């Protein structure tokens, strides 16, 4: 099967250079020779299957340019054949069965085989590998390869297993090459089967990619793609306004509206699978239900969207968006400052005796992220909450979250490109997960049975009940579903991906 990857490419959350003066790639030729993208985050590591960066949705576009996933995902989040072309369970769901694509080569010219898929899955399931989603991949084992067919035993049923093959850490790596060069050698010279090959990488500065002429989905339109790491949003605006870069994303919406009206530039906005949320850690004052609920009721989400995001955004009250499988529109928390005051008063707090805690946030990682938290802190102050803002880089957030040492409140952008409740409400709120900081037993006990539920209807209804309970208890503060702003030169045609991944292989000369 040779379906074009341009129709299949998918998703998928630090220092760096602002402008790289005189850097090549300022012009896009009619033949699509070179494209420069001002990207909003850095790339910490080249192995897309291990460590904290492997579960950072914001860098998946870089990974997907070099590596292929087991199963591909279209720009609308529907699934499609990737390196694995057929997949499923046997009748009693005790085995998984897969077929892999023929005629694919690695970037070094060596043949891709089913052994690479089996090895990658087996490696992902080993605790010593360091895959942060090991607890999913370890649920299958005893792999058997017969030509281009793979079977494996189901050790523990995982209802979202195949969806994960198109999500975080779901990448196929080259068995022979990796075993030859080792982790250190792979980091220096990574190879995949993806549409682009890594040509040059300067940490905290840029990566230059070269088109893969033998790509199974067809050679991408641009021969060279330069991705500059520009975490400062003001600098990204300057990049596209000056013509130094042809494409950028995640800039303030007022700048987006201004730039898209300029000659030679155009803009795209699309609702994506990312949400803005405030993690609450079960420490200090957040152990008080009244404080948690008051903090939620005090926030006017629509006002924040209208004033700071120029109307680009959708308020949410759970960690599910309308595109997710377990979305329940009936679950509402609502803006009610008087109720917030009453709740705080019941715990002995008020404007004259405020409850105090720290809230952490990024600044410039998402449009107006810091300004949103400033606005929320102002709303909190009116009802009797005094919050101190601490700014951190997104890499620090991952470090603190994995160690369960986030502040009592911490802003985060959660990506869930497969739209399943396990990968939104589940991992964010299940205490034993390394991606959660809320550890109360009541919630853990509600969630545990859902991980292996084989009845899909019962599973989804169970997650809706969990979302309702979380809202009632105030265990997290969902804020909004993001609308992603992309600015690009009119000489470039950009196809947005609902996952939020800005994929060079989906771009062509206009």
Extract the tokens encoding 36.
């420069």
Does residue 31 carry a pLDDT above 90?
no
CA distance 19 to 308: 26
Q: Cβ distance 253 to 310 under 8 Å?
A: yes
Extract the tokens encoding 319.
């960690």
Q: Report the percent of the chain where pLDDT is more than 70.
A: 94
CA distance 477 to 500: 22
**pLDDT 10s digits, 428-450:** 999 998 899 999 999 999 999 99
pLDDT of residue 302: 98
CATH code of the domain in which 74 resides: 3.90.76.10
pLDDT of residue 53: 87
What per-residue string of b and e applies to 379-414 under the rule 16 or more CB within 10 Å gives b?
Answer: bbeebbbebebeebbbbebbebbbeeebbbbbbbbb
pLDDT (average), residues 101-114: 98
CA distance 222 to 370: 35
The answer to the question of residue 207 being in a domain is: no
Confidence band, pLDDT 50/70/90 cuts, at residue 367: confident
Domain match, 498 and 453 both: no
Report the Cα 122 to chain-centroid distance in Å. 24
**Strands (DSSP E) along 336-494, which ranges?**
355-361, 385-391, 409-415, 476-489, 492-494
Domain match, 428 and 496 both: no
CA distance 39 to 229: 5
Does residue 500 carry a pLDDT above 60?
yes
pLDDT of residue 30: 38
Domain match, 497 and 420 both: no
Phi/psi region, residue 159 (left: phi>0; alpha: psi -120 to 50; beta: rest), is alpha
The answer to the question of residue 19 being in a domain is: yes
Does residue 3 carry a pLDDT above 90?
no
Domain match, 89 and 129 both: yes
Which residues lie below 8 Å from residue 254, measured CB to CB, with a gap of 6+?
310
pLDDT of residue 395: 87
Domain match, 298 and 366 both: yes
pTM of the model: 0.79
Extract the tokens encoding 352.
């004259």
Q: Report the percent of the chain where pLDDT is more than 90.
A: 85
pLDDT (average), residues 379-385: 98
Does residue 18 carry a pLDDT above 80?
no
Q: Cβ distance 197 to 504 under 8 Å?
A: no
Considering only residues 181 and 271, tell me which one the structure prediction assigns the higher pLDDT.
181
pLDDT (average), residues 17-31: 37
- Residue 3: burial class (beta carbons within 10 Å; 0-12, 13-18, 19+): middle
Confidence band, pLDDT 50/70/90 cuts, at residue 365: confident
**pLDDT 10s digits, 284-342:** 999 999 999 999 999 999 999 999 999 999 999 999 998 888 999 999 999 999 999 99
The percent helix, strand, coil of the chain (3-state, each to 5) is 35, 25, 45
What is the C-alpha radius of gyration for the chain, rounded to an integer number of angstroms?
23
The answer to the question of residue 204 being in a domain is: no
| Coil/strand/helix, residue 441 | helix
Does residue 32 carry a pLDDT above 90?
no
Angle at 356 between CA 352 and CA 360, to 5 degrees: 140
Domain match, 131 and 14 both: yes
Domain match, 377 and 499 both: no
Q: Look at residues 174, 180, 209 and name the one whose alpha carbon lies nearest to residue 47.
A: 174
State the average pLDDT for the chain: 92
The answer to the question of residue 435 being in a domain is: yes
Q: Cβ distance 293 to 474 under 8 Å?
A: yes
CA dist list (Å): 438 to 397, 425, 441, 443: 15, 11, 9, 9
Domain match, 168 and 294 both: no
pLDDT of residue 151: 98
The answer to the question of residue 221 being in a domain is: no
Name residue 328's beta-bridge partners: none
Considering only residues 225 and 252, tell me which one the structure prediction assigns the higher pLDDT.
225
CA distance 342 to 348: 10
| Coil/strand/helix, residue 38 | strand
**pLDDT 10s digits, 157-183:** 999 999 999 999 999 999 999 999 999
What is the pairing mode between strands 507-509 and 492-494? antiparallel
- Overall size of the chain counted in residues: 510
CATH code of the domain in which 422 resides: 3.10.105.10
DSSP label at residue 54: G
Does residue 55 carry a pLDDT above 90?
no
Name residue 343's beta-bridge partners: none
Angle at 174 between CA 169 and CA 176, to 5 degrees: 140
Which residues lie below 8 Å from residue 76, measured CB to CB, with a gap of 6+?
498
pLDDT of residue 210: 98
Extract the tokens encoding 401.
């979250």
The structural domain count of the chain equals 2
Extract the tokens encoding 5.
């990857």
Domain match, 290 and 154 both: no
The answer to the question of residue 31 being in a domain is: yes
CA distance 247 to 501: 13
The answer to the question of residue 315 being in a domain is: yes
Domain match, 504 and 445 both: no
The answer to the question of residue 327 being in a domain is: yes
Does residue 17 carry a pLDDT above 50?
no
pLDDT (average), residues 253-260: 95
Residue 442, domain extent: 274-483
Domain match, 505 and 478 both: no
CA dist list (Å): 442 to 100, 430, 431, 437, 446: 42, 10, 10, 14, 6
Domain match, 294 and 395 both: yes
DSSP label at residue 221: S
């Amino acid at each position: 099967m040779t379906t074009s990857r341009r129709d299949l490419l998918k998703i998928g959350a630090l220092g760096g250079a602002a402008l790289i003066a005189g850097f090549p790639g300022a012009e896009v030729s009619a033949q699509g020779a070179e494209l420069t993208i001002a990207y909003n985050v850095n790339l910490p590591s080249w192995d897309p299957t291990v460590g904290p960066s492997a579960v950072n949705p914001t860098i998946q576009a870089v990974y997907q340019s070099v590596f292929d996933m087991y199963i591909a995902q279209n720009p609308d989040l529907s699934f499609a054949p990737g390196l694995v072309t057929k997949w499923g369970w046997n009748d009693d769901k005790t085995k998984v069965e897969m077929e892999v694509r023929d005629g694919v080569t690695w970037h070094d010219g060596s043949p891709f085989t089913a052994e690479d898929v089996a090895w990658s899955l087996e490696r992902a399931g080993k605790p010593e590998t360091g895959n942060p989603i090991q607890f999913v991949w370890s649920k299958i084992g005893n792999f058997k390869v017969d030509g281009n067919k793979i079977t494996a035993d189901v050790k523990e049923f995982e209802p979202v297993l195949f969806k994960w093959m198109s999500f975080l850490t779901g990448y196929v790596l080259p068995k022979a090459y990796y075993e030859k060069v080792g982790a250190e050698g792979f980091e220096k010279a990574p190879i995949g089967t993806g549409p682009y090959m890594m040509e040059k990488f300067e940490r905290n500065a840029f990566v230059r990619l070269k088109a893969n002429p033998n790509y199974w989905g067809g050679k991408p339109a641009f021969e060279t793609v330069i991705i500059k790491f520009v975490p400062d949003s003001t600098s990204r605006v300057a990049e596209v306004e000056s013509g130094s870069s042809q494409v950028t994303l995640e800039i303030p919406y007022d700048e987006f509206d201004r730039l898209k009206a300029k000659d030679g530039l155009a803009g795209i906005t699309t609702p994506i699978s990312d949400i803005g949320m405030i993690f609450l850690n079960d420490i200090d004052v957040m152990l008080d239900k009244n404080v948690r609920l008051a903090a939620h009721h005090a926030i006017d989400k629509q006002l924040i969207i209208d004033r700071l995001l120029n109307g680009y955004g959708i308020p949410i009250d759970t960690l599910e968006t309308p595109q997710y499988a377990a979305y329940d529109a009936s679950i509402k928390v609502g803006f009610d400052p008087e109720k917030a005051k009453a709740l705080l008063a019941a715990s002995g707090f008020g404007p004259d005796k405020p409850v105090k805690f720290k809230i952490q946030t990024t600044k410039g990682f998402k449009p107006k992220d810091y300004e949103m938290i400033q606005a929320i802190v102002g709303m909190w102050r009116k009802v009797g909450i005094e919050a101190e803002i601490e700014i951190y880089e997104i890499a620090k957030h991952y470090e603190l979250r994995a160690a369960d040492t986030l502040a009592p409140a911490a802003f985060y952008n959660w990506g869930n490109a497969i739209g399943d409740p396990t990968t939104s409400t589940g991992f964010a709120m299940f205490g034993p997960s390394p991606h959660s900081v809320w550890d109360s037993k009541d919630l853990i006990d509600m969630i545990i049975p859902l991980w292996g539920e084989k009845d899909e209807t019962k599973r989804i209804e169970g997650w809706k009940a969990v979302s309702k309970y979380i809202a009632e208890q105030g265990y997290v503060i969902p804020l909004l579903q993001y609308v992603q702003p992309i600015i690009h030169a009119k000489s470039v045609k950009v196809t947005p991906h609902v996952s939020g991944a800005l994929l060079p292989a989906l771009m062509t000369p206009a």
